[in-house]
Amino acid sequence: MDICRHYSPVVEKFSIDECFLDMTGTQNLYPDPVKIAYIIKNEINKKLGFTVNIGISCNKLLAKMASDFEKPDKIHTLFPEEIKTKLWPLPVRDLFLVGRATAEKLEHSGIHTIGELAIANLNSIQTLLGKKPGQQLYEYANGIDLSPVLPEPEQAKGYSVSTTLAQDVISIEDANKILLELADSVTTRIRTDHVRCYCISVNIRNNKFQNRSHQRKLDEATDITKEVYEVSKELLAELWKNRTPLRLIGISLMQIVHENEIQMSLFQDKNKERARKLDHAMDDIRSRYGLDKVKRGSTFQNPLEIGKKYRAQFETKKE
């Protein structure tokens, strides 16, 4: 992020390892967008030791789609005049924000590519997906995105992470291993933002596409992975008594407060402080050497091979 800020006055952090740069007004300094993209990519590799993909376009949606083209260590453009040749032939499930269930609905209706969605009847799409989601995905298929690059994001009121499963989960042991990875991911994000949560929620979707959720309010705000994980396990056990096979598991952290707003207790829990120090040590290792360099022991030996067979969808909610 710091390297990117050397090249653009407006940088929006999109996720833990993605950002948007608004290069408006820098044409005199950087007249060739592809050339400056290579300079940024190579500087990141030289200074930090890892590769990145960069997508270039006139809006965030097209830049994001371009960045997800062939990987790794690539630079791609996706300008409006390239939409028909580069975007429209792609499967509709590759479009940003199209999840598995939405893709299945579209495919069952005869829409298999992004191009077919782009030229479909808007009213029919809205009837199929809902008015607002249908409108948004129809616009995305046509390369339309009017959202600005925001240098200072709004204060998040909630953080959530969910995983859509490629195969049914039927045992509590496997479900708990997934919960641990989700808890680890979402607490890393709140520690990065120097906030804590007073409320934890777990949501599930079974293979009949029935959704359920359960939440618990905490007496003390937390950002500790182990604490979020233990509460999440209890919530899942209460939610999933019938053991109907699961297709989605998610964790949400709500009632967010900044660290500076928390009054420290005179009698600090030494176990919590040790756990917090461990979390920060792991965060530091990952920030320096990559997200996959250190994992919690309980996530190993997973017969479902989390991360290989599952497609995770991460979202920071601003409500």
Q: Which residues are catalytic?
A: 18
DSSP 19-71: EEEE-TT-TTT-S-HHHHHHHHHHHHHHHHS----EEE-SSHHHHHHHHTSS-
User: In 3D, which of 234, 135, 238, 257 has the Cα closest to residue 179?
Assistant: 234
Are the beta carbons of 161 and 319 closer than 8 angstroms? Answer: no
With beta carbons less than 8 A apart as the criterion, state whether 255 and 200 touch: no
Asked whether the beta carbons of 156 and 316 are under 8 A apart, the reply is yes
State how far the Cα of 304 lies from the Cα of 246, in Å rounded to an integer: 13
Q: What is the distance between the alpha carbons of residues 90 and 95, in angstroms, rounded to a whole number?
A: 8
Closest by CA to 305, choosing from 161, 169, 207, is: 169
Residues 6+ apart with CB under 8 A from 201: 213, 214, 215, 216, 235, 251, 252, 253, 254
Residues in Cβ contact with 3 at an 8 Å cutoff, skipping those fewer than 6 apart: 40, 43, 44, 47, 48
Cβ pair 187, 228 in contact under 8 A: yes
Angle between helices 172-192 and 225-239 (to 10 degrees): 140
Which H or E run contains 258?
Answer: strand 246-258
